[in-house]
Structure 1
Amino acid sequence: MSTQSTPRLGLDYVLAAQAQKHVTVNESLRRLDALVQTTVISRSTDAQPGSPADGDAYILTAQAAGAEWELMAADGLTIYRDAEWSEITPRSGWRVWVEDEQVLMVFAEGDWVRFTDSIDELQDLQSLGLGTSADAANPFSAKLNGALWTALTSGEGGNGDLRCSLNKEAAGKVLSLIFQSAYSGRAEMGLLGDDDFCLKLSSDGSAWQEVLRARPDRFLIQSSAGLAVSAINGTAPSVRRNRIINGDFGIAQRGDSFVAASSGDRLLDLWKLASAGGMTVDVARRAFAPGQNDVPGSPSNYLEWALDGTAAGYPAIEQRIEGVDCLPEGTAILSLYASASRPVSMTATFRRHFGAGGSSSDVLVQQTLSLTTSWSRQTVVVPVASLDGKTLGDNHSLALEFNLQNGEAAVDIALADIQLEPGDVASPFERLSHAENLQRCQRYFAKTYFHDTAPGSTTMTGALRSATSGPGDTAIFDWRLPVAMRAAPTVTVYSPQTGAAGVIDAAGTDLAANVLSGSEVAVAIQSVAHSGLDLAAAHIAASAEF
C-alpha cells in the first residue's frame, strides 16, 4: 500500500505486526460514525458550545471562536467525542444534513452549497410538486404566492427574448388556461376545440358563456349584453371616429366630374382644388369594380385626380375640417388607400388655421407618401400640439392637403377611404350609410336638387313652388334647410327651366331674385315684380363651406 489510510474517507489501515490494533480499528469506526449519513447541528454557529453532547457535529464558520474551534479551518467539520473536538477536512462531493436549516449541503470547489443548487438538469420526471403534492391528474403542481419567468440575457449566453409555447395535438383538441375562484372555474381562454382564440366566462363554474372569438380575419364579441367601452381610439363609441367628411367620396352634390378645374373650384362634397399648380386638372368620381379586393371593406367609389402638363407650382386638393380643436391633444393618425399611373411622391400636410382674429397658422405634420401603380394603404402619424396659448378666431379649421411638387410631370392619382382619427392605431375605414354621409355634407352644402343632380341642371324635380297672382306681384320662396348649417350660407338661385343662376322661373320667363333672409336653418328668396306673374319655381343651393 502506498499510503497508511484510505484515499476517500481517510481511515487508517491496520498494519502488519501492529500492536494494539483495536486502537486503529476503533478510531476508524469513530470516523465512519461521523462521516457516514453525516448530520451536523448547524453551519452558522460561531461560538464553541460549552456543554456539547458526544457526537455533536458542526460545520465551522469563518468566525468560529473557542479554545479548540479557533484553531480549526473554516468550512471544516468538527465532531465532539471523548470530551474533545476533532477536526475533519471535507473533500469535494461530501454531503451533510444541516439540522437547524433542514437542508442538505454538498462540499464543492472548496465551499458548502445547497444540494439543490448543484442540480443543473432534471429529465423525464413523472411528477413535480412545488409547495404541494403532485398527483396523476396534476403531475405538475405548485402552491406559491408568486412566480417569475425572465429571459436569459445576451450576456448570459441567451438572446434576451422569452417566448412560452403551448401546443395541442390537433385542431379538435383543447389548449386553454382556466381561472378559478375557490377551485370553481370563472374564465377559460385559449383554443377550445378548434383553432379560434376564445374567451369563456362562468358565474358558477358549470354554465359557461362564450364572449369573445378571434380569427385571423375577424374579431367577434358574442356577449348577450353586448360590448361596453368608454372609448374607441380615444373617441366615445357614440361619436364618429373619422374627422374627414366624405372620405369615401360617396356624396357628389355638385356632380361627379370636373373637367379643367380651376384653383379654388369645389369638387366632390367637402373637397376643393386648392391649386391647379399650372397643370390641366380633371377630377372625377370613379366606381370600383364589384368584387375587387385591392381596397378592403367593399368601397363603392374612389377619387381620380388627373393632372396633365408640367407643374408650375404645387398642385393640391384639400379638405377643411371644422374647428382646430376637432382632435384632442396627443396623437392622431391619417389613413388612406392610394395608387398612381406611375410611381410618384405626394405630400400630405395638416395645417391649423386659427381663423379671423386668431393666432397665426401652424403645421402639425408634413409627410411624403410614395405612391405606386398598385393600391396601397398609406398612414401618417399626426402629433396634435396643445392649443394652450393659442387664440381661436372666427371660422377656425384644420386643413388636410395633398399636393405634388413643383415641376412634377403628368400623372393620374387615385384616392380612396381617407380617414383621420384620434390615437396611433389606424382602424378600418368607418363606412357610413349614404343618408348619414349626406347629412354630414349638408352642414356645409345643401341644395333643392335631387342628391345626384348638379346645381344649374334643368329639372323641376325638387324645385320650390310659389303661388302668386295679380299684377305687380313678386314670388317669395321659403326653404327650410335639411340640416342646420355651419354658418348662415351663401345662397345661389337657379331657374329650373333654363338652369341660369340668379333667376327664378315664372312660367317660362326668368326673373331676377334676391335673398330675402337667411340663417343656418332657413332661407327665403324673393323675385322682382312681374306683371301677370303665375306659378313660379326655383332651385336653391346654399354653401357654408370654408
Structure 2
Amino acid sequence: MQEQTTRLGLPYILPSQAQKHVPHNEALETLDALVQLVLATIGNIAPATPEDGACYGIGASPSGPWSARAGMIARWSGGAWQFIQPRKGWLAWCADENRLYVHDGGAWTRFTHIGPLQTLGVNTTPDETNRLALASDACLLTHDGGDHRLKINKADEGDTASVVFQSDWAGQAELGLAGNNDFSIKVAIGSGGWVTALAIGNTGHVATPLRPAAHAWANVAPTAMAVGSLSGFTDTEFATGGFALGTPLPSGIGSTLVVPTSAYYLVCVGAMPASTSPITVDVIVNGTKMVVGTGYHSGTPANRRICASGIVPLAEGDWLALHHQGNAVIDFGFNKTDLSIIALT
C-alpha cells in the first residue's frame, strides 16, 4: 500500500500503524501550511526569531539552517524548521512584497500572467477597440539601459498608424501615417472634417498644402488710374490656405484680397506702365497702410515691368489692394500688374 499522497506527500494512516494520531497530525500541520500559502518573505537567511507557524520561501543560495534547501518552503513549528519541497506551478503570496509568486520547479519567481492578455485596463476599463486603456495624469516609457523606440505598426499601405489628440473625446489633431505611407500632421476643422497641415513623402519633401499663398491680378483693359485710387483683383492663378477675393473697390477695378490668418508674409508686387509717364504702385493694407511699393518710377521705357518685395506682418481679416500715384496708364493682367503673397510663419 502506498504510504504517502501523490501530490503533497502527506502520510496515510496504515492499518497496522501505532500511534496513528502522530502522522495524522503531521499531515494536518502540512496542510495548514500549504493551503492558502503565505510566505512571510523569500530569502536565503533564516530569521532569528521566526513566528510559530510562519512559512518562508528559500532563495537560490541559502545558508545556515536553510543550507542545501534552495527553492523549498521553510516552516517554523514547535521550535524547529520543517521543510517542504514545492512542485512546479505552486502559488504563494509573499507578504512583505505584496506580490504573488509561482514556483517553477526549482525556484520562486514573481508571477506575471499566464499567456497573452486579451485586454488590460489601468485605472480604467478597456474594451474590444481600446484593448489597452490607461487613466493617469501621465505615463512613462523609458529605456532599459540603452535605446527606446515606440513602434506603431499597420497592416497595409491604405491603413492608418497614427496618434490622435482629443479634447472631450473629439479629435483635434492627428500625426502619423493616415491612410498612406506619407507622414502627415492633420487638424480638425469646424465642420467636423480633417485637413492636412503638413505631409512628408518618401523623397523627404515637406509639403504644406494649406500654407496661405496667392497670385492675383485684375483682368481688365489698360487704365489710367486716378491719383490715390485703389485697384484690386479679379483672378487668381492659385489661392491656398484660405486666401479669397473680398469686397469690390470703388474704382471698379477688382476686389480686395483678404488675409486668412495672422502671420508674417512675403509680399511681391509687380507693375507695368503702358505709357511713358510717372508711376508708383504700393500694396496697401486696409486702405490705410502702405507696406511694399515700387517707389517713384518715370515709366520709361513703357511696358517694362517693375517689381518690389518685402516681409510684412498681417492679421487675419486684413485686406490688400494696390494704391496708385502718377498718371501713367497701367497695363493690368497676369505677370503685368499683379500681386504674389505667401505666409512665412
Question: 2:299 — aligned with what?
Answer: 490
Aligned to 1:54: 52
The size of the alignment, in residue pairs, is 239
Q: State how 1:285-296 maps to structure 2 within 5 Å.
A: none
Q: 2:168 aligns with which of 188, 196, 206?
A: 188
Q: Does 1:32 align with 2:31?
A: yes
Query: C-alpha separation between the residues in 1 aligned to 2:330 and 2:96?
Result: 99
What is the alpha-carbon distance in structure 1 between the residues aligned to residue 116 and residue 280 of structure 2?
81
User: Structure 1 residue 214: deviation in Å?
Assistant: 3.5
Is the CA contact 1:151–1:162 (under 8 Å) kept in the aligned structure 2?
no
Deviation at 1:33, TM superposition (A): 1.4
Paired residue for 1:505? none
Contact 2:280/2:296 (8 A) holds in 1? no
Q: Which amino acid aligns with 1:18?
A: Q
The Cα shift of 1:152 comes to 7.3
In 2, the alpha carbon distance for the partners of 1:101 and 1:113 equals: 12
Conservation of the 8 A alpha-carbon contact between 1:132 and 1:143 = yes
Closer/same/farther in 2, CA of residues 152 and 4 from structure 1, 3 Å limit: farther
Q: Which amino acid aligns with 1:444?
A: A
Deviation string for 1:333-388 (max 9, x for gaps)?
xxxxxxxxxxxxxxxxxxxxxxxxxxxxxxxxxxxxxxxxxxxxxxxxxxxxxxxx
Q: Cα offset for 1:113?
A: 3.7
SS at match of 2:243: coil
- Map 1:425-464 onto structure 2 (within 5 A): 427-428=240-241, 430-432=243-245, 434-436=254-256, 443-447=270-274
- Give 3-state SS (helix, strand or coil) of 1:58's partner: strand
Q: Are 1:81 and 2:77 counterparts?
A: yes
Matched, 1:251 2:219: yes
Measure the CA separation in 1 of the matches of 2:63 and 2:298: 101
Cα deviation for residue 89 of structure 1 reads 1.1
- The letter of the residue matching 2:31 is L
Displacement of 1:417 in angstroms is 2.5
Instruction: Give the conservation status (yes or no) of the 8 Å contact 1:152–1:162.
Output: no
Same amino acid, percent of matched pairs:
24
Contact 2:52 2:77 in 1 (8 A): yes
1:90 paired with 2:86, answer yes
Where do residues 192-231 of structure 1 align in structure 2 (5 Å cutoff)?
A: 213-216=190-193
5 Å matches for 1:146-545? 146-147=138-139, 151=151, 188-190=168-170, 213-216=190-193, 241-242=213-214, 245-246=215-216, 250-251=218-219, 253=221, 417-418=237-238, 427-428=240-241, 430-432=243-245, 434-436=254-256, 443-447=270-274, 481=280, 483=282, 485=294, 488-491=297-300, 522=326
Q: Which of 89, 94, 99 is matched with 2:95 structurally? A: 99
1:70 deviation in Å?
A: 1.6
SS in structure 2 at match of 1:118: coil
Deviations, residues 490-511 of structure 1 (Å, cap 9, x unaligned): 3368xxxxxxxxxxxxxxxxxx
Residue in 2 that maps onto 1:206 = none
What residue number does 1:69 align with? 66
Q: Is the 8 A contact 1:6 1:12 kept in 2?
A: yes
Work out which of the residue numbers 102, 114, 124 in structure 2 matches 1:118.
114
Give the superposition deviation at 1:447. Answer: 4.8
Query: How far is the alpha carbon of 1:85 from its aligned partner?
Result: 1.4
**Pair member with larger Rg:** 1
Q: In the aligned structure 1, how far is the partner of 2:93 from the partner of 2:161? A: 38
User: In the TM superposition, what is the alpha-carbon distance from 1:163 to its structure 2 partner?
Assistant: 5.7
Residues 96 and 104 in structure 1, CA contact (< 8 A), matched pair in contact too: yes
Taking a change above 3 Å as real, the CA distance of residues 146 and 300 of structure 1, as seen in their structure-2 partners, is: same
Query: What SS does structure 2 have at the residue aligned with 1:15?
Result: coil
Unaligned runs of 5+ in 2: 126-131, 142-149, 174-187, 197-207, 224-232, 247-253, 258-266, 283-292, 303-323, 339-345
Change (3 A) 1:93 1:131: same
Question: What is the CA-CA distance between 1:100 and the residue it aligns to?
Answer: 0.9
Give the residue type in structure 1 aligned to 2:243.
E
- 1:87, distance to aligned residue in structure 2 (A): 1.6
Shift of 1:21: 2.1
Matched residue type, 1:96? A
| SS class of match (2:74) | strand
> 1 or 2 for the larger relative contact order (CA 8 Å, sep ≥6)?
2
**Contact 2:57 2:108 (C-alpha < 8 Å) held by counterparts:** no
Aligned CA-pair RMSD: 5.3
Q: Distance in 1 between matches of 2:218 and 2:55?
A: 92
How far does residue 90 in structure 1 lie from its aligned partner after superposition? 0.8
Tell me the SS of whatever aligns to 1:87: strand
8 Å CA contact 1:481, 1:523 repeated in 2? no
Deviation at 1:60, TM superposition (A): 0.7
CA contact (8 A) 1:446 1:482 kept: no
User: Structure 1: 5+ residue runs without aligned partners?
Assistant: 134-139, 167-175, 178-186, 191-196, 200-210, 220-232, 256-298, 302-415, 420-426, 449-476, 494-519, 525-538
- Give me the whole-angstrom Cα distance separating, in 2, the residues matched to 1:145 and 1:541: 63
Does the CA-based 8 Å contact 1:46-1:61 persist in structure 2? yes
Go from structure 1 to structure 2 and tell me whether the alpha carbon gap of 1:148 and 1:11 turns closer, same or farther (over 3 Å shift).
same
Q: Does the residue aligned with 2:190 lie in a helix, a strand or coil?
A: strand
- Measured against aligned partners, the alpha-carbon deviations of 1:449-478 in whole angstroms (never above 9, x if no partner) come to xxxxxxxxxxxxxxxxxxxxxxxxxxxx98
Q: TM-score, normalised by structure 2?
A: 0.50
Over 3 Å counting, the alpha-carbon distance change for 1:97 and 1:478 in structure 2 is closer
Q: Distance in 2 between matches of 1:164 and 1:300?
A: 41
Q: Look up the equivalent residue of 2:58 and give its one-letter code.
A: L
Does the aligned pair in 2 maintain the 1:492–1:540 contact within 8 Å? no
Residue-by-residue CA offset, 1:182-210 (whole Å, 9 max, x unaligned): xxxxx6352xxxxxx689xxxxxxxxxxx
Deviation (angstroms), 1:16: 2.8
